Structure 1
Amino acid sequence: MAQPVAHAWTPQYLGQWQVPRATPFHNTVIGGLSGISYDPGRNVYYTVSDDKAEHGGVRFYSVRLGVSEGGIDAGQFLQMQELLDESGKPFSRSSMAADSPVLMPDAEGIAFDGVRNRLYWSSEGFAAEGSDDRPARLLQPSIRIAGLDGAYQGEFALPPGFAFSPDKATGPRPNGVLEGLSLTPDGRYLFAAMEHPLYQDGTAADEHNTGLVRITKFDVETRNAVAQFAYQVDRAAPGTGENGVADILALSESSLVVIERAASLPAAIAVRLYHADFGPATDVLGMPSLTGQPIAPMVKSLAVDLNTVGGLEPLDNIEGITLGPVLPDGRQSVVLVSDDNFQPFEVTQFLAFAL
């Protein structure tokens, strides 16, 4: 499938700040940062951890960063806030026990809503078959609403096809679900991106194949999906495993920045940022399967290949992106964050760019 060309979106690298490995903070360990969103009114970044009870509860952090034309200063973690369940309690750490049928949410995306002063966060869920000594465990994907105090305020209705299926003929691939989340600047729409294709939509992107992932547009007021589009993920670079969407950034109702990331750590990683327009893309919300369908995917063009950026070393497992403050010279800043997976050979890093 030929890929159309969109107009250029070219960021300039400013610098990075690395968090010392295994930094303790408020009875947690900082790490697993898989999404980020900027609150301009408070001048803080909210970054969610995908930790599943090994180093703390389901949580997000408030971080202050000094981003300028000259780079990014050492940041400061200000607060840790656990995300709460429907009953107003933290998700139980005992739910990770081997004999439990329940799982902790796998938090991946986060988006701050300055209009309504609340957060949206996505969980990939989890599906595991049972065995003689372990029951089957299932937690469906979700997009939840939370106050800044972590309190549950509701959730979005996911489209058909986003639930795990026992036969793996349809539905999402485990650990390839709601990876990217971003709110439009006017606060009207929330975009959510799958990391990998649904089973019925074809193969995941690897060294030999591209893949079609679904990006869904939700109306924030109704909490329902109003449109959905196919985004074509590039083939993976040799030795990096599968390529997928790590996060998205909504520039407008019709334009996104998409992070494509393939990693086989510690050996290899490839991270690229693309500018993507919906343009003539087909609305696939009502399509059970994309396989064999004559659809038009989103229009995309390469913005920057992070592996080729001078001075950007090391480059780790980038999983989050957000607009930051406008710089004194008038350029817009962009901040990215990496997920260190709590591994000794990885790093938590905040990268700063300017447009």
Structure 2
Amino acid sequence: MIQLTKTFLVFLILMMVASCGDSTKSKSAETSIHLKFIDEYVLPDATDFDNTRVGGLSGIDYADGAWYAISDDPDQPRFYKMDISYNHQGFNSIDINKVVKFKDRNGIEVSSGTVDPESIRYDNGNFVWTSEGNIKKGVKPFVRIADSSGRLVKDIPLASRFLPSNQAGYGPYHNGVFEGVSLSLDKKGYWVAMELPLKEDGTEPTVIENNSPVRIAYINKATGHFEKEIVYALDKVERPAINGNTFEVNGIVELVEYDTHKFLVLERSYAMGYEDGGNTVKIYLVDATNATDVRDIKSLKGSNYTGVTKTLLFNFETIRDQLTNAVVDNIEGITFGPDFKNGNRSLVVVADNNFSLYGPQLNQFILFEIEQDVVD
């Protein structure tokens, strides 16, 4: 295992504290958040559990002392219950102790090829999870609630704009739908993030341009309805595909709300042809406090609205040489873990190894410590 002591700093909030009297000048306080890289753990590619191959880990969550990771295997949609042990020195172990297959309302396992699992969050004994579907084949994406056995409890109704469409310039891009989900801080709802813009909102980002506003939507848990949509602007693709390849993409892969209307957002750029995996992954601090609700705006092109603000917190390029084979793999999951003994929060990310279908990849877990300072 690898350890690095260097901290990475970004200013999170600048708060002006004003006095009530005319004679007292206002003063400012700065709160900063640091991510300190602690360790990496790679679960062997050949790991099997209960007649399943462990891989495609596209989302991760921690709750009530247990860890959960969703696998994006379309043939056997499932999630794993895990034990992950670590401290300030790094990971101790990662053990899988249960696999749960997703099922329909009748308890029958979900059919092969009908879902593309991407994200999962534990919610008071149930699980909210997402699927991108298959836009090219007309397979609908969804946001669902399942019980602890994986059985369907509820399907969240979706607006038509999130569904496959034959109308030119309308609907989601393939592999660009519900990639991330987070419980709201008050646990009264869920935030779901598109990976890419809707066609009527913008274009897929390239290395040249990024006219790519992505919708992040709030779902009221009590009603099961979408109640708000805000806009996150994607970066350009970080580097071009090479060596005869043409595929490149950048999008949101996960989010987690850490304060009211404030999120950590994982943004991942990928380009084919690179020996280091071709991934450039960043964590942004995102503030949606003043973001416009665009739910009633049919097309963001030419529309007036205020998007979220984003501030770079961490670029995984800064630790690439500390990781296995200098690979920043296909990181897609992020969650807060248990606090360290000093009271600081822990943060864990996980990579989807695509079951190494496109060449060797890693079931890569990376551990951080979150440090905060307040300076008057």
**TM-score normalised per structure 2:** 0.84
Letter of the aligned partner of 1:275 in structure 2?
A: L
Please state whether the residue corresponding to 1:161 is helix, strand or coil: helix
Letter of the aligned partner of 2:250 in structure 1?
A: N
Q: Which residue pairs with 1:71 in the alignment?
A: 90
- Give the counterpart of 1:326 among 339, 342, 347: 339
- Give the counterpart of 1:300 among 296, 303, 310: 310
Q: Which residue pairs with 1:208 in the alignment?
A: 208
Question: Is 1:189–1:253's contact at 8 Å kept on the other side of the alignment?
Answer: no
Q: Which residue pairs with 1:149 in the alignment?
A: 149
Please state whether the residue corresponding to 1:216 is helix, strand or coil: strand
Letter of the aligned partner of 2:267 in structure 1?
A: E
Q: Which residue pairs with 1:48 in the alignment?
A: 70
Q: Which residue pairs with 1:264 in the alignment?
A: 271
Deviation at 1:280, TM superposition (A): 1.5
Please state whether the residue corresponding to 2:355 is helix, strand or coil: coil
Deviation at 1:159, TM superposition (A): 3.1
Deviation at 1:204, TM superposition (A): 1.3
Deviation at 1:69, TM superposition (A): 1.3
User: In the aligned structure 2, how far is the partner of 1:168 from the partner of 1:78?
Assistant: 47
Q: How does 1:72-111 map to 2 (within 5 A)?
A: 72-93=91-112, 103-111=113-121
Letter of the aligned partner of 1:125 in structure 2?
A: G
Deviation string, structure 1 residues 225-276 (Cα, Å, up to 9, x no partner) = 1111000111111126221001111113311111110112561110000000
- Give the counterpart of 1:278 among 279, 282, 288: 288
Q: Which residue pairs with 1:124 in the alignment?
A: 132
User: Runs of 5+ in structure 2 lacking a partner?
Assistant: 1-10, 14-31, 242-247, 371-376
Q: Which residue pairs with 2:244 in the alignment?
A: none
Deviation string, structure 1 residues 152-186 (Cα, Å, up to 9, x no partner) = 11121223411110134211111110001111233
Please state whether the residue corresponding to 1:231 is helix, strand or coil: strand
User: In the aligned structure 2, how far is the partner of 1:229 from the partner of 1:88?
Assistant: 35
User: In the aligned structure 2, how far is the partner of 1:266 from the partner of 1:337?
Assistant: 22
- Select between 160-169 and 138-147 the one with higher mean Cα deviation: 160-169
Please state whether the residue corresponding to 1:250 is helix, strand or coil: strand
Letter of the aligned partner of 2:367 in structure 1?
A: A
Q: Which residue pairs with 1:224 in the alignment?
A: 225
User: In the aligned structure 2, how far is the partner of 1:266 from the partner of 1:64?
Assistant: 35
User: In the aligned structure 2, how far is the partner of 1:319 from the partner of 1:232?
Assistant: 18
Deviation string, structure 1 residues 189-238 (Cα, Å, up to 9, x no partner) = 20000000000011112211221100001111111111110001111111
Letter of the aligned partner of 1:247 in structure 2?
A: E
**TM-score normalised per structure 1:** 0.88
User: In the aligned structure 1, how far is the partner of 2:66 from the partner of 2:251?
Assistant: 28
Question: Is 2:86–2:93's contact at 8 Å kept on the other side of the alignment?
Answer: no
> What is the count of residue pairs matched by the alignment?
327
Question: Is 1:6–1:277's contact at 8 Å kept on the other side of the alignment?
Answer: no
User: In the aligned structure 2, how far is the partner of 1:168 from the partner of 1:317?
Assistant: 31
Question: Is 1:324–1:333's contact at 8 Å kept on the other side of the alignment?
Answer: yes
Runs of 4+ in 1 over 6 A off after TM superposition: none
User: Runs of 5+ in structure 1 lacking a partner?
Assistant: 94-102, 129-136
Larger radius of gyration: 2
User: In the aligned structure 2, how far is the partner of 1:349 from the partner of 1:37?
Assistant: 15
Question: Is 1:164–1:172's contact at 8 Å kept on the other side of the alignment?
Answer: yes
User: In the aligned structure 2, how far is the partner of 1:221 from the partner of 1:175?
Assistant: 29
With over 3 angstroms needed to count, the CA separation of the structure-2 counterparts of 1:9 and 1:178, relative to structure 1, is farther
Instruction: Say whether residues 1:315 and 2:315 are aligned partners.
Output: no
User: In the aligned structure 2, how far is the partner of 1:340 from the partner of 1:246?
Assistant: 14
With over 3 angstroms needed to count, the CA separation of the structure-2 counterparts of 1:81 and 1:266, relative to structure 1, is farther
Please state whether the residue corresponding to 2:161 is helix, strand or coil: coil
Deviation at 1:352, TM superposition (A): 0.8
Letter of the aligned partner of 1:331 in structure 2?
A: N
User: In the aligned structure 1, how far is the partner of 2:322 from the partner of 2:200?
Assistant: 41
Question: Is 2:70–2:79's contact at 8 Å kept on the other side of the alignment?
Answer: yes
Question: Is 2:265–2:283's contact at 8 Å kept on the other side of the alignment?
Answer: yes
Deviation string, structure 1 residues 14-70 (Cα, Å, up to 9, x no partner) = 11110101311111111111111111x2x22111111111xxx11000111112111
Give the root-mean-square deviation of aligned CA atoms: 1.6
Q: Which residue pairs with 1:336 in the alignment?
A: 349
Please state whether the residue corresponding to 1:259 is helix, strand or coil: strand
Q: How does 1:114-263 map to 2 (within 5 A)?
A: 116-128=124-136, 137-210=137-210, 211-239=212-240, 241-263=248-270
Letter of the aligned partner of 1:91 in structure 2?
A: V
Letter of the aligned partner of 1:44 in structure 2?
A: A
